[in-house]
A and B are shown apart, each in its own frame.
Chain A
Amino acid sequence: MKHIKQLYSFIFFSIVLAIAYLFFSTAQIQQILNENVESIFIKEAKSFAQNINNNIKTVIKEDPYKELKENPSLQKKMEHALSIIINDTFKYIFVLYRDSNGNYRYLLDGSKEDKAHFNQRLSVDKKLWSSVYDTKVPLIINQKELDNLWITYLKPVVLNNKTVAIIAIDFSTQLPQSIYNAIEPLNKIFIYIFIAIGLLIVILIYQSIRSIKIKKESITDPLTQAYNRNYLRDLLSNIDITKYQIMMLDIDHFKQVNDNYGHKTGDYILASSAKIMQNEIRDEDILIRFGGEEFLIFIKKSSVNSYLAYNIAQRIRKKIEESRFFYEDKELQITLSIGISCQPEHFKTVSLAIKYADEMLYKAKREGRNQVISQSTNDTTLLKKTNTKSINDVKEALEEQRVVCFFQAIYNAASLTVVKYEALVRIKEKDGSITSPADFLESITYTNVYNDLTKSVLESVFTQIKEKKIQISTNLNFSDILDNKIFDLIIHELEVHKELSSWLIIELLEYELIEEITIVQSRLLRIKEYGVKIAIDDFGSGYSNYSIFKLLPIDILKIDGSLIKDIDTSEASYKITHSIILLAKELGITTVAEFVHSKEVLETVKMLHIDEVQGFYLAKPSPNIL
């Protein structure tokens, strides 16, 4: 679209330039034409003047004034000779002499109209005429100040080395006028074109201003004057997110403001809060009304202050907390909760980074409101409770190959022989300690680091399969199957390890039956084409849904640990597990009991004819497969 606009601009200015070039070329042609015509007629005038000069010299001996005064018939005859030369171009031809007072007077006048009598005075430019008189050199005068004359050619009549008169030939403006008249329509066309272009430019400017105004209105929230979601949609496709931190803000208990004081008061609070936010951020930051009482701010990163968004958020929160809002004799006090995504560039998309800031916001809400929650490498507010790893910690561990897999054996329940292993991801800390996935998976969800981790685990699993030739399962989420990047990654790994893929089991964490189930279904079928088996993990708790058996190509069902761990003491757990096993058997699905932590539990599940068992009683996760 931008290129099309540039192309239009280029074409428009090219046309304007071409027209301007033509206009000036025409003016130049007119000038050249004038000069050529002028040159031709000056040449002719010189010739005429020379003939007149010769004629005068033939009949006048010494003093033309005296001799012509005394001989009117000679005067008449010579004037007749001059009148013959007069035409549309040579308008006036006359001969003047200079009297003792320096005034110029007629000797001969070839004009038929406007004819002067002998010795009549004519006002001329004395300076120029006298120069011809004194220097005896002919002169061409361009008559710029006289309307009806174009050029005057002056030739001195010299007798006995003395100037006795001047022959003057006046050129009519008719000729240049006719050239001008011939070109004038063309000039007028150009003027009309320029006027049209001018009008077009005015209309374009008007339309552009109008368009900018309309566009501004369409991207601005009229109540708060902050940008709206239309603007956000455009921003998401253009923004360089590496330069920003994202802040999500929500007015605490705003619904109560609306319910108790009315929507007008609510609107006033929204507008006032937005104004405070706008005042507290910089010009380069972007304030967006995300919806309702939620606002989104993109804070331009500072190279010197990685806490910038956090500091600004605290400033806004404090300012709002300290402000008193007065509306129609009512005094209100409000607070803000704020969540920050400090490193949005780590997320796969900006939308996910916003989602993450939203999650931080809800953490802030859950933890008592009127506070700022931020997650970043150095932000201890988020890391305070646990040993939760940051995105950069996981990234660093991946780079240093400290992300490893532990393997826990799964046994045949009847024979108690190892039939497969479950791969469990861990981070090996620099001090040798081991960090479990609960401490780092959450912080990398939605980020590219999660993709890298998945790739690393799959490669590690295939290495073990190749070496030990035994089935190994690995854990994934339904959302991973839906994620195009991760799905492509799985397919790529399966292609690379085609001959080993039938040893692989993918354990999907049982989750709420998602809307995109048909996509999951088709993708799992695609995965199964490589011989991969599909297991459902933690079945029997949470969002357990029996329709999953109908929709998905399940090979293995892992019964949730919460049912198994007390199966020997809880009748309910026993009966639920029993029914699940019966159902699975009917469907031809292998069952696995997790969390087998005691002999009693093992004996109970064996009694229920479970196929396979797994738990600390049998084997703990180990870095190596024995």
Chain B
Amino acid sequence: MKKIILILLLVPLLFASDIKTEQKIYGLIIHALLPQKTEIKVWTDSQSPKNIFCLIKGVKCVKNPENADFLLLNKKKNIQTKGIKFATNIQLLEAEKDTIVGGFFWQKGRPNILFLRKNLQKHNITLPESMQEYIEDEL
């Protein structure tokens, strides 16, 4: 019986490796955008990565977007907030290019990270050297 329980516990861990990679990327992005915060409040309208955020070290998921420091958006939403908005697709990034700081999305089967310089400046954000190459002046 113990062996069966052990197998049931191990199987999900095998499938967890991809999620961990995505979690790691989001962790890097969030902490690069908000380096001064020890606890970053995150809100998202996307269900799938929600659990990913909640497990990132130093991140706390919140239910109210107005209380969030970082908003991960999948669809266009009229949210009045001082928090940093980040897109999960290029279409939203283009549509909200005046307010959204950047996006992490997949194109041609390849992962793409993109930051908009003017919006970074609006939030007085200076990205670390390793992320400088992903900054775009305009779309």
Residues of A near any B CB (own CB < 8 A): 91-92, 94, 101, 103, 111, 114, 116, 120-124, 143, 146-149, 170
B66 — which chain A residues lie within 8 A by C-beta? none
| Chain B count of residues within 8 A CB distance of the other chain | 12
**Which of B110, B113, B136 meets A146, CB within 8 Å?**
B110
Does B22 interact with chain A (Cβ within 8 Å)? no
**Which of A111, A114, A121, A147 meets B136, CB within 8 Å?**
A121
Inter-chain contact A123/B112, CB cutoff 8 Å: yes
Inter-chain contact B114/A121, CB cutoff 8 Å: yes
Q: What would be 16 A-B contacts, judged by CB atoms less than 8 Å apart?
A: A92-B109, A94-B108, A101-B133, A103-B133, A114-B107, A114-B108, A121-B112, A121-B114, A121-B136, A122-B108, A122-B112, A123-B110, A143-B109, A147-B109, A148-B109, A170-B108
B5 — which chain A residues lie within 8 A by C-beta? none
B110 — which chain A residues lie within 8 A by C-beta? 122-124, 146
Q: How far is the CA of A120 from the CA of B109 in the complex (A)?
A: 15
Binding site secondary structure of chain A: loop
Q: How far is the CA of A199 from the CA of B64 in the complex (A)?
A: 55
Instruction: For residue B134, give the distance in angstroms from its CB to the closest CB of chain A.
Output: 8
Instruction: For residue B93, give the distance in angstroms from its CB to the closest CB of chain A.
Output: 11
Binding site secondary structure of chain B: strand
Closest to B18 in A: A147
Chain B 27-41 per-residue mask, 1 if CB under 8 angstroms from chain A, else 0: 000000000000000
A92 — which chain B residues lie within 8 A by C-beta? 108-109
Does B9 interact with chain A (Cβ within 8 Å)? no
Does B139 interact with chain A (Cβ within 8 Å)? yes
B139 — which chain A residues lie within 8 A by C-beta? 120
Closest to A173 in B: B109
B112 — which chain A residues lie within 8 A by C-beta? 121-123
Chain B 77-112 per-residue mask, 1 if CB under 8 angstroms from chain A, else 0: 000000000000010000000000000000111111
A114 — which chain B residues lie within 8 A by C-beta? 107-108
With A103-B133, A120-B139, A121-B136 known as contacts, the answer to whether A146 contacts B109 (CB < 8 A) is yes
Closest to A148 in B: B109
B133 — which chain A residues lie within 8 A by C-beta? 101, 103
Inter-chain contact A122/B107, CB cutoff 8 Å: yes
Chain B 113-133 per-residue mask, 1 if CB under 8 angstroms from chain A, else 0: 110000000000000000001
Interface centre among A111, A123, A149, A170 (most CB of B within 10 A): A123
Instruction: For residue A449, give the distance in angstroms from its CB to the closest CB of chain B.
Output: 66
Q: How far is the CA of A114 from the CA of B107 in the complex (A)?
A: 7
Q: How far is the CA of A122 from the CA of B110 in the complex (A)?
A: 8
Q: How far is the CA of A453 from the CA of B6 in the complex (A)?
A: 77
| Given A114-B107, A123-B110, 13 additional A-B pairs, CB 8 A | A91-B109, A111-B108, A120-B90, A120-B139, A121-B114, A122-B107, A122-B112, A123-B111, A123-B112, A143-B109, A146-B109, A146-B110, A147-B109
**Which of A120, A123, A143 meets B113, CB within 8 Å?**
A123
Q: How far is the CA of A94 from the CA of B107 in the complex (A)?
A: 12
